[in-house]
Amino acid sequence: MNDNHHPDSIRNDTNSMTLGRQVMLHTRDSDFVVMLNALQTACKLISRSVRKAGIAGLYGAAGTANSTGDDQKKIDVLSNEMMVNALKYSHSCCVLVSEEDDEPIFVPEEYCGKFCCAFDPLDGSSNIDCNVSTGTIFSVWEKKSPGIKGEISDILRAGSEIVCAGYCAYGSATELVITFYGNGVQRYTLDPSIGEFILTGADLKLPEVCKTIYSINDGNYTTWDENMQRAIDNFKLNGKPYTSRYVGSMVADIHRTLLYGGIYLYPADKKKGNGKLRVLYECFPMAIIMEQAGGAASTGLFRGNITRLLDLVPSNIHEKCPIIIGCKRDVNMVLNYY
């Protein structure tokens, strides 16, 4: 890379490729820019809170449970408030769905806009006390119902109708990976000196030669069906074994899979039935990002069929489904066992 085009080159200060600039360049939709500005502001606030969690006394449980029964951390509650308030008062959204809230949030008419947003404010927060990477995941639809206010039907739609999806990873750097209106996948890194997300990857694709890495919670092996067990055994035992990498934070595991290749799986099992991950704000966003980057995402065998994940139409806002996601080589190999 030419020094003048390096993301940290001082010459970039004269022509910074910020998130807001890139979005306006590709969409020329001021409402969409306002909505993404609200999202990125919330992500910056959450990033700061994650980094200050120990100092600010945000480690530990809040003493409550979220919509799907998971114990909430103090920082879960804080992150959710940051996301909800940023989007609710941006005048760009009409329906919000959060992992942390039992019911959808219908934005008051005086603040309503044309977008519907589903999000997991802080994925991987169960590991926050031991300083494991966490992240925010989101998906966005355009409202279809008539009138100013939104309806539940505006967000209970197929993943293929999503107009924007992304995640923000909080690790050694704060990175935002996003796709919108079919414009491929873009990677941004937060420059803390100016408080802006700067473009560091304009058209992110899976590597031409993907690494042989599989990511799954092997502790659940005995609860999977025989076909899934055989597929995982193939990764371990057939020829040169795959490397196993599993963080337990979906954002961290998917980010690695996107950059290096391989596969991430959270299949249906006897213990959790439909799997653990939620369709609207975990599976859908990651699926559309992976497909835009040249990969594939499937439910595997789910409700009697093998289904492209983005073709699902959820019936409730916290519905769960299995997920098999990554490079086509490995996803197809797993599906071939069915």
Which residues are known to be catalytic?
A: 70, 76, 99-100, 120, 122-123, 282
How is residue 306 written in tokens?
């093998």
Q: What sign for the dihedral angle of Cα 108, 109, 112, 114?
A: positive
With H, G, I as helix, E, B as strand and everything else as coil, classify residue 164: strand
Q: Which residue has the tokens 């809230």?
A: 101
With H, G, I as helix, E, B as strand and everything else as coil, classify residue 14: helix
Q: What contacts 24+ positions apart, CB below 8 Å, involve 63-70? A: 66/99, 66/100, 66/101, 67/98, 67/99, 67/100, 67/101, 67/102, 67/318, 68/99, 68/278, 68/318, 68/320, 70/126
Q: Which distant-in-sequence residues (6+ apart) come within 8 Å of 26 by Cβ? A: 180, 181, 183
Task: Give the count of beta carbons closer than 10 Å to the beta carbon of residue 5.
Answer: 10
Alpha-carbon Rg for the chain, nearest whole angstrom, is 19
Identity of residue 133: S
CA distance 18 to 230: 46
Per the DSSP assignment, residues forming a β-bridge with 215 are 264
Q: What sign for the dihedral angle of Cα 141, 144, 148, 152?
A: negative
Residue 279 near residue 120 (C-beta atoms within 8 A): no
- CA of residue 178 relative to chain centroid, distance: 9
Identity of residue 253: D
Q: What is the DSSP string of 239-253?
A: SSPPEE---S-HHHH
Task: Give the count of beta carbons closer than 10 Å to the beta carbon of residue 49.
Answer: 18
